Each structure stands twice: as C-alpha cells, then as structure tokens.
A and B are shown apart, each in its own frame.
Chain A
C-alpha cells in the first residue's frame, strides 16, 4: 500500500486529465457532495422527512471515519478505540445539558478541551507501542471509558439518558431538522477541506513519511513522535465533534456510543471506502450505513421466509459482507477509482 506516494502525486496530475474530461474520481466525489447538499430538498419533495435523519446520521459517521482515517490511512496507526472520542463528545453535550447549560459554545469548548486532554494523555501511552499492541491498547482504553460511562449512574448509567433539547447556538436554530442537516454538512465539508490542506502541508508530509518509514524520518531529523501525537489528537477531536453532533441528532446519550463494535464499524467504513484516500471514508460510511438500513428494514421481494430471515439476522449478512470486502477489496470503493486513475499513463 504505497498510498502516501499516490496521494502526493494525484492532485498534481489532475489538471492534465481534467482539461479534457473531469476524472471519474473527481466526478464521483462532486456528484456525491451535490447529492448530499440536495437531500433536504429531495426529502421534502418525496415527503419522507426520515431521509433527513438517516443521511444526517450517515454524515456524522462519515465525519468520525474521516477523523480516524487521518491516523489509520495516513499515519499507519490502526486505532481500534476511536469510539471513545465519539463518547466524549456525546457526554460533553449530555452532562452539560443535564446541568442546565444549553449553550452550544460551552458544549463545544468543554467537549474539545476534554477530548484534547484525554487524547494527549492516552496518545502518549499508546504511541509507546505500535502495530498489534497499538490496536489492542487503544481498544482497552476505549473499554475503560465505556465502563466509566456505565458507572455514571446520575446520567443514566447503562441505559443512557435522553437530552431535553439540542445545543443552542444563538441565531442558528438546531431544532429545525433541515438547519441541523446543513450544519452537519458544513462541518463535514470544512473538515474535508482542512484535511485536504493539512495533508499537503509539511505536517501531512511528515505524517505520511512516518507511515512509510519512521526510522528514516527520525534519521532525517523530524520529531516523529510529536507529529504522530498531534495527528492522534486531531483525529480524536474530529471524532469528538462527530460525537457531539450524534448526541444532538439522536437527543440521547448512552455508553453504547463507545462500544467496541462502533470502533469496528468505523474501521469497516474506512476500508470499504478506501484506506488512505481523503474522500474514501465518506463513501464508506454512507455505503455501510445504507447497507445497514436496507438489510435491517427487509422487504427485498425475496420469498417470504428468506425475507424474514434476512430481516432478523441482518447483522450476520453485514458480517459476511465485511469479510468479503476485507478479502476481495484491497483498496476500497473510492480507492479503486483513485488507483485506476494512477494506472493511466
């Protein structure tokens, strides 16, 4: 997986192709973004407000997967515990709301601060190891925080607790579903743009260099541990943001946001979309959650017994899909487009 190289050259090569015809990759990404922007209108037109919530949820997870991919895809650090930071964001909103603090700015400040402190401490411990041990220690930290959340009895403990209302941001009225949708959309787009710039900046180069050959980067005089720690904290903060949006979307906070299966889902999304591509996680999250929705809602027009079987055991079908994706797809859906483009002369 020589992704760092691929990422560096692709944008430079782009204008040559795009002069005649926009590349498949750019076309697909643009189309998807345009579609996302149009969802509220389409939902209203179709009279299906449920789509608004569904796609909001997809974008929230796309944001989290995007954040995680910064360290998994570009930094070579496979964290299996990023659900932890989704939980931190959600509980920042939850706990403050329970105490009557409804200001969204306060939620944001507390969530990001708590996330930054936690990620720095956990990152310092986790970055002492790499590879397999890193996967497991990140998982263990997430479990630890999961039990903390279960232990928070006054905030619902195991069962979680409903929020009275969404965070309040002055003039921006999040209680309107369409407005909230566009806020999530804007956060996702802003993060995509920020990552696009970050990965091409010096810091991004150092990070990708660490993935390719950390020892060489150290020998060249780069502070590799610092670069990886900063990347870890940034990716954690993006997940904190996603957690805050998730809590606002569902109006509910529960330890299940931090379950290890959520971390697994995030990794599936990244691999499904394309590890180490900027836009891949967004594609992966949308496709994965769409599959989840399709499988669990049933009604496939199969013979009744098969339909029923699919509906009750959709998780197993999803698991089979995850295995097939893992075994058969090396670069993921969006990654395949990127790869194809690079294969061109």
Chain B
C-alpha cells in the first residue's frame, strides 16, 4: 500500500462524495423545507443520466447533453411534484414513502421501455478525456471535472441560500412554513421552486455520473440509499451537513472498499478475511451512520433554527 495509491483512492472517494453531494443537496432541500421524503429522487438521477446519454449519443455534444439532462429532469420533477407529490404534503410520511416508491417502479419501467433493458453507454467528452499527472500518478481529468462541478455548485448553493432573497424565503420555509405563509408568501410556489431545483441537481448528478457509472434501469436506487445515509450522517435539512456528510461517506466508502480487505488479511485468518473483508467494506458506511445516530441523533452537522 503506497502513499500515492492511498491518495488516489482518497481522491476517488472525494469525487464520489461530491457526486453524492449533488444528489443529497436536492434531497435535503425537499426534506428540510417541505418535510417530504422523496424516494423517487434517485429515479430523477437515473432519468438525468439517460437524457444525457441519449442527447450525447445523438449530438456528440456534452453541452447539449447537459442541457437535456438538467432541463429534462427539471420538467419531470415539476410534473411529478404537481401531479403526485403535492397531494401528499399534508399526509403522513408513510404515504409519501409509498407514493414515491410507486414512482420509482414507474420510472424504472419507463426507462426500460424507452431505452431497453441493457445498459446505455456514454463516453467521456473528448475535451475531458485523458489523464493528468498528479502526485506521481495519472489521474483521469473527468473525475477532476466532477469534483470541480460539485464544488462550484456547492458554492453557488451556499451563496443563493445565504445571500439572496429567494434563499431567505427557503430558509424561512424550512424553519416555519406556516408563519411564512401567514406573512403572505406563496408557499406552494416556494416548495415547487425548491423541488424544481432539487430535481435539476439530480439531473446534473446524472449527467456527471453518466460516463463513469452504467446507465441502466434501477441505477438510481443504490445511490439513493447512499444519499439517505449522507443525510442522516450529516444532519437532515442542512446543506452544510449534506456537504460534509457526502464527503465523509464518499471517502469512507471508497477507501474502506480499497483497503479494508487487505488490512483484514494482515490481522485475521486468511479464509475469514477473504469472506468478511468485502462484506465489512460494504457495511462500513452503515456502521458509521449507526454510530453517529446512536451518539448524535440529529446528525453531525444539525441544522440551526432561529
């Protein structure tokens, strides 16, 4: 285990974390402000990846792929919110889980119907293809681009939420939606807007993930579960929590998978290590989350109200 390998894995983890942040940011906006659990967020991510892959395949332009992914999921998200989810705001969380669970099934079949069962491939755009030398190893430029996009989006979100009037309304909605509505603000508009932004972020995540993950039906679910783990670890409803939570989970997951089996082989019996290593690596982030929750039920970076 060399230092540069560790560094490469840490960087990969950072990149996964940034991708998770794009997804969790949208999820936490909806969750924090509307107190709504949207399991179909992962499906929006999947649809974003499909839109991007289809547009890229047709035009060979990454820019157009981006437009298709973001605009497509935005429209889809607004439709989903208006047609189904808005009717469930007032209802118990159970019904929200159920409605969005149904939506996942529908989205998966729509994808299967439109693009078929087999994976769709999307190439890395030429401008971002190669690798660059980084601390003595060749690191793919595209992964650095993902990190850059995630950091820019994070900074923009921070500015919008903390420095603009719209952001003020969003924060007000998060701490007391009823009061905000009493002050004459159209809260349905605010929540619709927040949902649209969340969906677009999921689309952006899908676009960036397209070339490095397999674009196929059902690809949204595993990453949705990761995003939920991020939210719980970081603290539900806070963008800051989503950011740090995503980085922690991304790095823990990647580094754990890369080094835990080897580490276990050093200390434990060979046959046991071979079996337990990969399983333990997959469980690592869930263990992390359980420990965090047992010690700090509100997460590591709970949202501060008032």
Contacts of B221 in A (CB 8 A): 260
Using known A-B contacts A137-B293, A275-B94, determine if residue A322 contacts B102 with beta carbons closer than 8 Å.
yes
Residue of B nearest to A275 (CB): B94
Contacts of B228 in A (CB 8 A): 136, 139-140
Is B270 on the interface with A (CB-CB < 8 A)? no
Using known A-B contacts A129-B297, A313-B112, determine if residue A140 contacts B106 with beta carbons closer than 8 Å.
no
Is A6 on the interface with B (CB-CB < 8 A)? no
Identify B286's interface contact among A128, A141, A322, CB under 8 A.
Answer: A141
CB distance from A250 to the nearest CB of B (A): 22
B212-249 to A contact mask, C-beta < 8 Å, 1/0: 00000000010001001101100010000000000000
Contact stretch, chosen from B69-77, B156-164, B173-181, B276-284: B276-284
Q: Do A322 and B293 touch across chains, with their CB atoms under 8 A apart?
A: no
Contacts of A312 in B (CB 8 A): 112
Contacts of A327 in B (CB 8 A): 84, 87-88, 99
CB distance from A262 to the nearest CB of B (A): 11
B90-123 to A contact mask, C-beta < 8 Å, 1/0: 0011110111011111101110110000000000
Q: Do B37 and A318 touch across chains, with their CB atoms under 8 A apart?
A: no
Contacts of A317 in B (CB 8 A): 109
Using known A-B contacts A136-B232, A267-B101, determine if residue A153 contacts B283 with beta carbons closer than 8 Å.
no
| Complex Cα spacing A120 to B248, Å | 28
| Complex Cα spacing A268 to B100, Å | 11
Q: Is the interface of B mostly helix, strand, loop or mixed?
A: helix
Identify B279's interface contact among A78, A133, A148, A260, CB under 8 A.
Answer: A148
Is A8 on the interface with B (CB-CB < 8 A)? no
Q: Do A315 and B290 touch across chains, with their CB atoms under 8 A apart?
A: no
Contacts of B9 in A (CB 8 A): none
CB distance from B160 to the nearest CB of A (A): 24
Q: Do A267 and B113 touch across chains, with their CB atoms under 8 A apart?
A: no
Contacts of A54 in B (CB 8 A): none
Q: How many residues of B contact A (CB 8 A)?
A: 45
Residue of A nearest to B280 (CB): A151
Q: Do A129 and B103 touch across chains, with their CB atoms under 8 A apart?
A: no
Residue of B nearest to A76 (CB): B92
Residue of B nearest to A144 (CB): B286
Is A183 on the interface with B (CB-CB < 8 A)? no
Interface size range on A against B:
35 or more
Identify B275's interface contact among A143, A153, A321, CB under 8 A.
Answer: A153
Contacts of B276 in A (CB 8 A): 151
Using known A-B contacts A267-B101, A322-B99, A327-B84, determine if residue A151 contacts B282 with beta carbons closer than 8 Å.
yes
Residue of B nearest to A73 (CB): B94
Contacts of B101 in A (CB 8 A): 264, 267-268, 319, 322
Is A14 on the interface with B (CB-CB < 8 A)? no
Is B287 on the interface with A (CB-CB < 8 A)? yes
CB distance from B283 to the nearest CB of A (A): 5
Interfacial residues of chain B within 29-50, with CB under 8 A of chain A in the complex: 31, 35, 37
CB distance from A137 to the nearest CB of B (A): 6
Contacts of B106 in A (CB 8 A): 316, 319-320, 323
| Complex Cα spacing A315 to B37, Å | 22
Is B294 on the interface with A (CB-CB < 8 A)? yes
CB distance from B20 to the nearest CB of A (A): 15
CB distance from B263 to the nearest CB of A (A): 16
| Complex Cα spacing A144 to B104, Å | 21
Is B289 on the interface with A (CB-CB < 8 A)? yes
CB distance from A329 to the nearest CB of B (A): 10
CB distance from B222 to the nearest CB of A (A): 9
Residue of A nearest to B98 (CB): A326
| Complex Cα spacing A4 to B214, Å | 48
Contacts of B294 in A (CB 8 A): 125, 128
Q: Do B97 and A78 touch across chains, with their CB atoms under 8 A apart?
A: yes
Using known A-B contacts A133-B297, A151-B278, A323-B103, determine if residue A268 contacts B94 with beta carbons closer than 8 Å.
no
13 A-B contacts, Cβ less than 8 Å apart? A125-B294, A131-B93, A132-B37, A133-B293, A133-B297, A137-B293, A150-B282, A309-B113, A315-B109, A319-B102, A319-B104, A326-B88, A326-B98
Chain B contacts to A: CB under 8 angstroms: 31, 35, 37, 84, 87-88, 92-95, 97-99, 101-106, 108-110, 112-113, 221, 225, 228-229, 231-232, 236, 275-276, 278-280, 282-283, 286-287, 289-290, 293-294, 297
Which 3 residue pairs across A and B have the least CB separation, nearest first? A151-B279, A319-B105, A316-B109
* New A-B contacts (17) at CB < 8 Å, excluding given A1-B92, A151-B275: A135-B97, A137-B232, A140-B228, A140-B229, A140-B232, A144-B286, A144-B290, A151-B280, A260-B221, A271-B94, A315-B105, A317-B109, A318-B102, A322-B101, A325-B98, A326-B98, A327-B88
Chain A contacts to B: CB under 8 angstroms: 1, 72, 78, 80, 125, 128-129, 131-133, 135-137, 139-141, 143-144, 147-148, 150-154, 260, 264, 267-268, 271, 275, 309, 312-313, 315-323, 325-327
